[in-house]
Structure 1
Amino acid sequence: MKNINICIIGSGLAGLSAAYYLKYKYNIEIFEKRERTGGCLSSSKTKNGYVEDFYHHFFEGDSLLISLIEELSLKEEMEWLKGSTGYHVNGKNEPLTTIPEIIRYPYMTFYEKFRLGMLTLRAGEYDIEKLDEVTAKDFIEKECGKGVYNSFFEPLLRSKSGEYSDKVSAAWLISRIAIRSNRKSGGEKLGYLRNGFESLIESLEKEILDSGCTIHTNTPAEAITKSENGWFVNGKEFDLVINTINPKKFCQLGGPNIGEFIYQGAACMTLGLKRDVLNGLYWVNMKDKAPYGAVIGHTNFVPYERYDEHIVYLASYFSGKPPEGIQEQMLTDFKTRFSLKDDEILWNRIFIEEDAGPVYMTGYRSKIPGYCIDGIYYAGMFSEANYPERSMEGSIAAGKKVAGMISEAYSG
């Protein structure tokens, strides 16, 4: 069966997973626009080890991801840590991890906190399909009241979805709440790899290359045309194509038009600091308006001793192109807001992905494409496996799904 030639566009987790599950059966070539594989799961070197370019962790229910980690002999690297949360309000970090901390939070009434707590407890009971047609704003105001929406959810939606915040579906929001409801005393139970997710990407890449497949980095797909027996990609003919990139961008290259999907970009700044500015908190959402929506204290989650420096992320989302001068805006605001001197910042870098993922607005479910349309297989963030909440688990599921479909269709 090695005479079947498959092109995979994009080397994020979905593309690498598809290649991994097909590697010994077919000739596979992956086209990646960046200089290294991994997509939004790529990593960069720090003083000690690697840290992800975009913050990541996983959950106990991510069975496909955990199975893949074990298959790649990385089980010993897997660890379960606790992630604490809070809000930055009026220049202060307000912890919201434990019940006493939530009770003390001064920006909601006790009754509002009770309604929010009940929503969290019931999160897994809602009918996601019905919530696809309801906006998150309308849903929260109905279930918890306008006070909870304005004080707690509106800043989250604004920072995550910007101009689309009033159109995001309740299905997306409630799924995020449900998956993050595994909270014990001291924080949420979250998974990580001791040497970072660089281990996962490196292992996948090695397996794929060792099987005889090819990965072209610094090589974006530039032109796609239909051939008599398949598709030409960058002038080379393939029997099959697996697309993992934004369907709009894929269509612009010459691929089929499978519908309009509004994607958002992500700008993620990583900094090395001399001191902790989050009072030990892992995830701090910004209630005050800032050029970033959250500050993630990586070394308040992963042990500080592993890096010998405090590492934080500043997370920002945008539509279209990133705002001009975004790196300087984020850095200047962060230094001022958290009273940091220049010599307390050891280093900083920013990573920008213009197509980080689709915005799950109301009615999105009906737009989800099939896994195979007009001879093209689809396994990106827009796929069914990543709805209503995109994740590493969903990316692996999408890659494995199309791999299974191809194996079944071409088994003879």
Structure 2
Amino acid sequence: MANNMNRQTKKSIAILGGGISGLYAAYRLQKLGFTVTIFERADELGGLSGSFKIGQIYLEKFYHHSFTTDKIVQRLIKELDLDDKFYYKRLSTAILHNNQTYPLNGAVDLLKLSPLSFLDRLRTGIVLAFLKKTKKWKQFSKEKANDWLPKWQGRKSYELLWLPLFRSKFGKYWDQMSMAWFWARIYLRSEELGYIEGGFQILFKRLHEEILKNHGGIIFQAPIDSVRPDTGTGRLEVSYNRSKLDFDFVLSTLPESTNKKIFPDLKADFLQKYSDHHHVGAQTLILLLDRRFLDHYWLNVNDQDFPFLVVVDQSYIADVSEYGGLYPVYFGNYLNYDDPRWTMSETELLKKFVPFIKKLRPDFSEKWIKEKHLFRTEAAQFVITTDYEKTLLPNKLPIKNCYAATLSQIFPAERSLNYSMSVVDNAIAQIIEDMN
């Protein structure tokens, strides 16, 4: 394809969004012979996977790791000669139940989970083993997790392990989640988690360098106003910041809610069918402490009175020397947009969290905090309902040469770097098929 395109006229493509999806799309499309231009509304790359600086090093705004099943990530890391910086570690996970912490790293820990009867532990273990082994996710597509799980693993086990997380993560949508989504959470996860020395910003930086090296364009602070066919040239007119540029193709990696606004030629019936998915926002309060906080990398908070859903102690996956000897800890939430916590300031949120942080560490003192940072982003997690695949936005939009690769297309897997790149691969395959 690249050679054929070079012998003719190189096709130009506008890539909307400078997160991992946009960067990966530009990198792949350049290899196929396209001339690429990325439009990013912020003044930096990364999007939902973006980072911020701690001294001379970067830390993700929202906790990130990779699984051993993430083959696209592994392939890209190797292509970019970053395999010497990428590593996997076996890390500890636990749950908080009734102010007690219980390790939950496998069958042995599950069999020791004393709040459940032996029969409930056994049933739960059998169910999780079944979900881990079966590849046939379509059998779960019409089932709600809220119905299937208590039926097979037992109501008490479901209410202890999963119901609190569903309620905290999805709020008013908690009982609508598809069992196919839950299956993917079990099936795709690995005991070892991957990270990259220096943070995932290293990966984005290398992609950025490759794109520029191959004469790609990146326009920052460029929110898209509209994308319309240019009747005069037959190309696509991208409007941004009172400027306009024409392209042969457009690939949007933006949220579906944004696509609704910037593609005015999309018909109402199309939008209603494919772009009406509920979603929740993500929020992290990151505390940089002068000491380690948890005994585990990951703590699911199953006590409903706590104002945060998860605690992630970054010091277990990355060397604290990278952060100047500080210990980054994420206090994470997924929130509906009418939740009061969504609009709280950094100071207000910390004040709300501190009494509960002290339940986890009674000796905790705010003097331990050397820095604090608050981040939030909309459309971080889509509500994956039954038969969700019937409402998936197609890669090919009903406007000539316009395509989409968005987070809402990730199914049944949960959003991740790997599956963000997977939907991009699907969109690129569609572009090439249409060109041929």
Q: Under a length normalisation based on structure 2, what TM-score does the superposition of the two structures give?
A: 0.87
Alignment correspondent of 2:429 = 404
1:109 to 104, 108, 117: 117
2:79 pairs with 1:71:
yes
2:230 pairs with 1:206:
no
Tell me, in whole angstroms, the C-alpha distance in 2 between the residues paired with 1:111 and 1:174.
Answer: 22
Post-superposition offset of 1:106: 3.1
Q: Mapping of 1:34-113 within 5 angstroms?
A: 34-47=42-55, 49-97=57-105, 99-113=107-121
Q: Deviations over 1:120-157 (max 9, x none)?
A: 11113163112121111101111111101111101111
1:361 to 377, 385, 390: 385
Tell me, in whole angstroms, the C-alpha distance in 2 between the residues paired with 1:132 and 1:246.
Answer: 23
Tell me, in whole angstroms, the C-alpha distance in 1 between the residues paired with 2:414 and 2:28.
Answer: 23
Tell me, in whole angstroms, the C-alpha distance in 2 between the residues paired with 1:273 and 1:215.
Answer: 36
Amino acid of the structure 2 residue aligned with 1:272: L
Which shifted more, 71-80 or 24-33? 24-33
1:318 to 308, 329, 335: 335
Tell me, in whole angstroms, the C-alpha distance in 1 between the residues paired with 2:215 and 2:135.
Answer: 46
Post-superposition offset of 1:330: 3.6
Amino acid of the structure 2 residue aligned with 1:175: A
Post-superposition offset of 1:278: 1.6
Q: Under a length normalisation based on structure 1, what TM-score does the superposition of the two structures give?
A: 0.92
Contact 2:184 2:412 in 1 (8 A): no
Which shifted more, 109-118 or 321-330? 321-330
- Structure 2 gap ranges (5+): 359-363
Contact 2:291 2:368 in 1 (8 A): yes
Which shifted more, 342-351 or 224-233? 224-233
Tell me, in whole angstroms, the C-alpha distance in 1 between the residues paired with 2:107 and 2:297.
Answer: 17
2:221 to 218, 223, 238: 218
In 2 relative to 1, CA 267–140 (structure 1 residues): closer, same or farther, beyond 3 Å? same
Amino acid of the structure 2 residue aligned with 1:327: E
Moved over 4 A (4+): none
In 2 relative to 1, CA 362–326 (structure 1 residues): closer, same or farther, beyond 3 Å? farther
Tell me, in whole angstroms, the C-alpha distance in 1 between the residues paired with 2:345 and 2:333.
Answer: 9
Aligned length: 403
In 2 relative to 1, CA 243–321 (structure 1 residues): closer, same or farther, beyond 3 Å? farther
Tell me, in whole angstroms, the C-alpha distance in 1 between the residues paired with 2:404 and 2:263.
Answer: 15
Alignment correspondent of 1:185 = none
Amino acid of the structure 1 residue aligned with 2:326: E
Tell me, in whole angstroms, the C-alpha distance in 2 between the residues paired with 1:380 and 1:321.
Answer: 24
Post-superposition offset of 1:109: 1.7
Q: Mapping of 1:2-401 within 5 angstroms?
A: 3-23=10-30, 25-47=33-55, 49-97=57-105, 99-123=107-131, 124-125=133-134, 127-180=136-189, 182=190, 188-228=191-231, 229-234=234-239, 235-255=244-264, 256=266, 257=271, 258-279=274-295, 281-289=296-304, 290-307=306-323, 308-320=325-337, 323-325=342-344, 327-339=346-358, 340-374=364-398, 375=400, 376-383=402-409, 386-401=411-426
Instruction: Indicate the SS of the match to 2:184.
Output: helix
In 2 relative to 1, CA 221–214 (structure 1 residues): closer, same or farther, beyond 3 Å? same
Instruction: Indicate the SS of the match to 2:403.
Output: strand
Contact 2:413 2:419 in 1 (8 A): no
Tell me, in whole angstroms, the C-alpha distance in 2 between the residues paired with 1:95 and 1:241.
Answer: 47
RMSD over equivalenced CA pairs, Å: 2.0
- Structure 1 gap ranges (5+): 183-187
Tell me, in whole angstroms, the C-alpha distance in 1 between the residues paired with 2:20 and 2:230.
Answer: 28
Instruction: Indicate the SS of the match to 1:382.
Output: helix
Identity percentage over the alignment? 27
Q: Deviations over 1:25-52 (max 9, x none)?
A: 2222211122211111111112462211
Amino acid of the structure 2 residue aligned with 1:192: Y
Amino acid of the structure 1 residue aligned with 2:429: G
In 2 relative to 1, CA 391–333 (structure 1 residues): closer, same or farther, beyond 3 Å? same
Contact 1:292 1:330 in 2 (8 A): no
Alignment correspondent of 2:361 = none
Tell me, in whole angstroms, the C-alpha distance in 2 between the residues paired with 1:108 and 1:88.
Answer: 14
Tell me, in whole angstroms, the C-alpha distance in 2 between the residues paired with 1:146 and 1:329.
Answer: 37
With a CA cutoff of 8 Å and minimum separation of 6, indicate the structure with the bigger relative contact order: 1
Instruction: Indicate the SS of the match to 1:372.
Output: coil
Tell me, in whole angstroms, the C-alpha distance in 2 between the residues paired with 1:402 and 1:79.
Answer: 29
Contact 2:280 2:334 in 1 (8 A): yes
Amino acid of the structure 1 residue aligned with 2:388: Y
Instruction: Indicate the SS of the match to 1:44.
Output: strand
In 2 relative to 1, CA 362–223 (structure 1 residues): closer, same or farther, beyond 3 Å? same
Post-superposition offset of 1:100: 4.8
